[in-house]
A = this chain, B = another copy of it.
């Protein structure tokens, strides 16, 4: 089963006013001409959100578990199943399901897309940790040799697209194709792959913090953005809702990537700025069931006030 990065965190957070220099493409920057008020994430909301996220994660796990039985050829499917569940869970898959529900859809419509998002992430994770000659890589235990891990990663991505293509029963074909484009982009050369390319260049230079933000946006932000937008598409959300949830996912995913780096005051400042932008995107959903739960995805203990 999947290991988890805990989805939600704790306490009440006071977010200070920050300047609207997001480091994100200008078209993605919200209009911040009006004075922004500090936004608060209530501890009670964060606590209440836990069962919601856990229930979704459990359903996605069950879906993946049924989708990847060890079958012929076992030499291929056994490592495929292992690497799928060995990859640490991100919040992206659960965000996909939650976004579907937020816009009024049934969560079953987003389950295959949520699984595909995890599979794309799991494949990237396997290749990120592959022992190669010229890539600095994180340490990891390897159950299989590099050739098996390479080929298994290669097999996981098409399997994700196959799962998604087959989900045409609960979801409409044109919506699935739109989701396919979202996942292709986020999991491909303009998303995760760009982040993995650029990550090697992170060194102590002048542009360091903006560059780290860029890499986190590519490696983590865009897969969360695509997941949230995909859920909204499959749930029948309006184009406006889809865009807002895409933006929220981008900010929230980038924040979650940055928080793993623990990079000191400069990184904390970027995190505060992005968290505030993320919460602003949620304002359009005010009054909708579960919307407050989304804020728990950008909560972080070290930035909490008293």
Contact = CB atoms under 8 A, between A and B. Distances in A.
Contact of A135 (B120, B147, B181): B147
Nearest to A155: B189
Contact of A154 (B123, B132, B133, B134): B123
Interface stretch (A71-79, A86-94, A234-242, A256-264): A71-79
A131 interface: yes
A69 B162 CA distance: 27
A120 to B, nearest CB: 8
Interface in A244-280: none
A148 B158 CA distance: 20
- Which are the 4 A-B pairs with shortest beta-carbon distances? A162-B184, A158-B188, A155-B189, A173-B173
A174 interface: yes
A161 interface: yes
Copies in the complex: 2
Interface string A100-135: 000000000000000000001001100100111111
A231 interface: no
Contact of A162 (B76, B80, B124, B180): B180
Interface string A124-165: 100100111111000000000111101111111111011001
6 contacts: A73-B194, A77-B189, A130-B150, A161-B180, A173-B176, A180-B180
A162 B146 contact: no
The binding surface of chain A is classed by DSSP as helix
A183 B165 CA distance: 11
Contact of A151 (B127, B148, B165, B166): B127
For chain A, the bracket of interface size reads 35 or more
A47 interface: no
A45 interface: no
A158 B187 contact: yes
A293 to B, nearest CB: 30
Given A177-B176, A177-B177, A197 B153 contact: no
Contact of A76 (B130, B145, B180, B197): B197
A196 interface: yes
B146 A127 contact: no
Interface string A46-86: 00000000000000000000000000010111001000000
- Of A130, A158, A189, A193, chain B has the most CB atoms within 10 Å of the CB of A158
A189 B135 contact: no
A36 B152 CA distance: 41
